[in-house]
Amino acid sequence: MFKSKNECNVVYKCTVRLLDDSDVLECEFQPFHKGIYLVDHICRQLDIKEKDYFGLRYVDTGKQRHWLDLAKSILKQCKDIDPVLFSLRVKFYPADPFRLTGNGRIMLFQQLKRDLRHGRLYCSMGEAAALGALIVQEELGDYDELIHVGNYVSSLDLALRQTESLEKKIIELHKKRKPGQHPSVAMDEFMGIARGLETYGIDPHPVKDHRGSLLYVGINHAGISTFVAGKRSQHFRWNEVHKINFEGKMFIAHLSFTDASREPKKHTIGFKCPSGPACRYLWRCAIEQMLFFTLPNSQHAAVVSGGGFFSWGTKFRYTGRTEREILTESINALREQKMTNSTSSKRKASSVPATPSSPQGDLAQIRYSSLPRSTMSEPLGCSMAPSILIYGQDTGVNGSLQMPSLEPVCEEARLRSSNIDRLNHMGSDLSGYAFRDSMEHSSTESGLTASGYDAAGKPRGNQNDSKQHLYYSSKQYYALPNPALNSSSSVGIASGKHSGKFSRTHSNPNNGGKSLRKFHLLHAFIPSVIFVVIAMAGTAVLIMESELEMFERVRNSPEMLSLRYQYYQPLKEFIIEKLGKKV
């Protein structure tokens, strides 16, 4: 990394390692660049169209892996890493790998080969031999007795446990392959076998269950799975996962499912991770996978909070497109392509010259020209008098109104203009006092005063002579006049009826009216927080120290167990030790 003389033009360098470790890319970024900038840049360099399935992974100083957040600054995420090194990996494995095209499919094939080589794509001996033979076919081509002699497979790194028996089986299958096949055929056949495995798209996270037994948690498009000795022991589909959370080192999943008797049931499972950062990483991977494969679009993605009251919480919001958005856009693109192809073929087949009865202009222009001339006689911005204001709409740069296209003038606009004239007449009698109409007036009229307009229908400026201080009550507005006008008395204007008569009453501090007090947020917030903290602490102590059967289910929940062994028990021993020393 290096810095230029001008701090505003600081440039940082990073190295991106591709799926083949021997291939690297050197990239540059600036402090204001976010993660999505680097991902887009790399995908453009590699000509990957389906960039949403890929991501950049890095390792922090604590040897913990992380996915580069697309919505956050690159520099803030990697500020303690030197040199900055990223690894391009497939982040979301599609259920159907053939949805990816071009270089995207090739990169997915390389990722699956890497998973088989590192043991993540766990499979039986026969499946490993079939996958290895396809890799040999794709890399070395057809079997040739003159070239492929001896144990020629041993030079290739194919599987994690590559024994001699496995290599012999791979050679036998390679010999039986039909000659003359294109390498893409072997690649597609490889991905077809891989997607049917239970470990497809699984990045195993080591955890421990409530018994202390070691197992692995894997997350992919199908849901959350647990693996023991390479075999799946539990599987929870995404429609069964109600909520995902973590507490300290405990990864927690709340499930809601229907049993064999078709009765809805709820269940909570928890797994203990090796460390707190590892637990947060597992939680974030699970949240991203669930949102990518289940949300209809990214606009429905809300901010997800993780971590409990007694641990460092974190917030996450999904950035990018979801799988449904990608599929919808690809389907729409295919439809548009078919429509353009069909229209072009029709135009070529048509030999009839253009006549007035068969216009060939733009369809939108034809439809617009067919409208009545009364709607096209003058522009919409000039169709109304400049003195009429439409409240709730912004004006343009030159003062012209920004109105919806082809919107008819309704009766409500005429009523508003008449109401404004009435306000002009009433405002001259009030001599600058703010007021509120009585209950018999419409809500549209009462909204004029509260929306920042005076009685004349003009926006309020910074005029010191006409500045009003409004105090709101539950039924009416009280207004204090300018102290320069009258310093000896304060006048309250009460709302009257439609007759226009308003009664002015001098305020007296000795009358029975209620005095207005200034509201302080801290006076109400601090006691509430103290009360809630005391109540929660007392409830926690009651649940943990009592032996009542009604609290047994709560005491045995993963959240309470984590709270007891990580926070409550050490704090209890510390307090007892301190009190014992004082006594």
pLDDT single digits (tens) 363-398: 344 333 433 333 333 443 333 333 333 333 443 434
Q: What is the token pair recorded at 90?
A: 């497939």
Distances (CA, A) of 249 to 67, 196, 197, 271, 289: 19, 32, 30, 8, 20
The larger pLDDT score, comparing residue 112 to residue 555, is at 112
Predicted local confidence at residue 496, as pLDDT: 40
Write out the H or E segment, with its range, that includes residue 343: helix 323-349
Predicted local confidence at residue 562, as pLDDT: 76
pLDDT of 129-173, one tens digit each?
999 999 999 999 999 888 888 889 998 999 998 999 999 999 999
* pLDDT > 90? residue 114: yes
Q: How far apart are CA 240 and CA 224, in angstroms?
A: 10
Distances (CA, A) of 447 to 32, 435, 502: 43, 12, 20
* pLDDT > 50? residue 68: yes
pLDDT of 479-530, one tens digit each?
444 444 343 333 333 334 343 433 333 444 444 444 455 667 777 788 888 8
- Residue 347 — pLDDT band, cuts 50, 70, 90? low
Q: Strand 12-17 relative to strand 85-90: parallel, antiparallel, unpaired?
A: parallel
Which residues share a beta bridge with 316?
A: 304
What number is the average pLDDT over the span 182-193?
A: 94
Predicted local confidence at residue 421, as pLDDT: 56
Predicted local confidence at residue 517, as pLDDT: 58
Predicted local confidence at residue 528, as pLDDT: 86
* pLDDT > 50? residue 407: no
CATH topology of domain 203-323: PH-domain like (2.30.29)
Q: Can you tell me which residue has the tokens 């404004």?
A: 420
Instruction: Please give the single-letter amino acid code of residue 443.
Output: S
What share of the chain in percent tops pLDDT 70?
A: 67
- Residue 290 — pLDDT band, cuts 50, 70, 90? very high
Domain 9-93 has CATH 3.60.20.10: no
* pLDDT > 60? residue 335: yes
**Entry field: residues in the chain:** 583
pLDDT of 76-91, one tens digit each?
999 888 899 999 999 9
Top CATH class of 123-195 equals: mainly alpha
What number is the average pLDDT over the span 32-41?
A: 94
- Residue 349 — pLDDT band, cuts 50, 70, 90? low
Least confident of 251-260, 275-284, 300-309, 525-534: 300-309
Q: How far apart are CA 471 and CA 481, in angstroms?
A: 12
Predicted local confidence at residue 45, as pLDDT: 94
